[in-house]
Amino acid sequence: MISSELAGLAPAERADLIYRLARTDLDSRLWEAALGRAAGLATTTELKAAASPLRLEALVEALSTDDRLAPRLAGASSDPTVGRSPDLPGLGANAAYQPLLEQAAKRTGFDPALLAAIIDAEAAKTGGGQWDPVSRNPRSTAAGLGQFLAGTWLGEARRPGSWLFETARSRDWLTPAGAVRPEAREALLALRFDPRASIEAVADHAASNLRRLRAQGVCSDDLPAQARAAYLAHHLGLGDALRFLGRGIDEGRAGRLLAAQVGAAAAGRRIAAAGSAAEAHRDWLLAYVDRRVRPTRFLSA
């Protein structure tokens, strides 16, 4: 649960994370109740809620299931057209994330449109099309805007030079040898729900993967090819991406990967239709990439 991961954060860190996630256009009544204020509350139930403030974790759970969740990041206008540069016009409902995307892209030398395309393909979305920073995949440990698996996130935190490594080190979450301290594990995993942390980690992870894919000669320099390769490495992991782009993923692994994405029943139907798990997984993933990973839609015409 999100609340158990938040429990590992220090009070100040938890408050900062909740503040960033919760600057939304939700009812003022929810916030009055959360802050323990009675002003503006109309019903007896609401007045009782105001007298006993909501726990921080309960507020996050409420926000994560509310379709009106639309993060308004510090310094961003509530009007997505105000102050937006023309560099990423395709962000639309997610224009508030543009400063974070540009910051991460500049730091890593990664194309901001490519970064936006990866996140847009990975992130769950609310009813209004906004990326949901507190989403989770019920079939795996994937969470946050980048849908990082727990193991991948912890590995990124152990990789010297990454934003996540520097953040973890500054908070004393790593041992002198660079391992994650057991008592810091939950707090570190909770950072997946911080939009900035997730975007920075996607940029670091993708830039590193592209360098290694180019070194193996399986990625060209044009934007669509980079987008496909970077997304495959993010989605599959570098090892499976290299196998996918080369001789292919073996039957057992392909079946498990497909089931994790579409569910066991749907995976079974696809495998039966394709004649093999590897082909069914390849067909599904390539169709998904073609449909969803389109960096050019974020660029100026």
CATH of the domain at 105: 1.10.530.10
Q: Is 70 part of a structural domain of the chain?
A: no
Q: Is 109 part of a structural domain of the chain?
A: yes
Q: Is 33 part of a structural domain of the chain?
A: yes
Q: What is the DSSP string of 223-292?
A: HHHHHHHHHHHHHH-HHHHHHHHTT---HHHHHHHHHHHH-HHHHHHHHHHHSSHHHHHHHHHHHHHHHH
Q: Which band of pLDDT confidence, cut at 50, 70 and 90, is reported for residue 297?
A: confident
Q: What would the mean pLDDT of 279-292 be, rounded to a whole number?
A: 94
pLDDT per residue as tens digits for the range 230-277: 999 999 999 999 999 888 999 999 999 999 889 999 999 999 999 999
Q: What is the DSSP string of 173-205?
A: -B-TTSPBPGGGHHHHHHGGGSHHHHHHHHHHH
Asked whether residue 293 falls in the same domain as residue 155, the answer is yes
23 has pLDDT over 50: no
213 has pLDDT over 60: yes
Asked whether residue 246 falls in the same domain as residue 175, the answer is yes
Q: Is 78 part of a structural domain of the chain?
A: no
CB distance 173 to 157 below 8 Å: yes
Q: Residue 209 belongs to what domain range?
A: 89-298
Q: What would the mean pLDDT of 163-178 be, rounded to a whole number?
A: 97
Q: Is 142 part of a structural domain of the chain?
A: yes
Q: What span, in angstroms and rounded, lies between the C-alpha atoms of 148 and 202?
A: 9
Between 28 and 229, whose confidence is greater? 229
Q: Identify the top-confidence range among 19-23, 134-138, 278-282.
A: 278-282
CA atoms within 13 A on the CB side of 261: 19
Q: What span, in angstroms and rounded, lies between the C-alpha atoms of 231 and 225?
A: 10
Asked whether residue 97 falls in the same domain as residue 47, the answer is no
Query: Which residue reads 């994650």 in tokens?
Result: 180
Number of structural domains in the chain: 2
Asked whether residue 243 falls in the same domain as residue 153, the answer is yes
Asked whether residue 275 falls in the same domain as residue 189, the answer is yes
Asked whether residue 122 falls in the same domain as residue 233, the answer is yes
pLDDT, the chain, mean: 78
Asked whether residue 94 falls in the same domain as residue 57, the answer is no
- Tell me which DSSP letter residue 136 carries: B
Q: Which band of pLDDT confidence, cut at 50, 70 and 90, is reported for residue 100?
A: very high
Q: Is 114 part of a structural domain of the chain?
A: yes
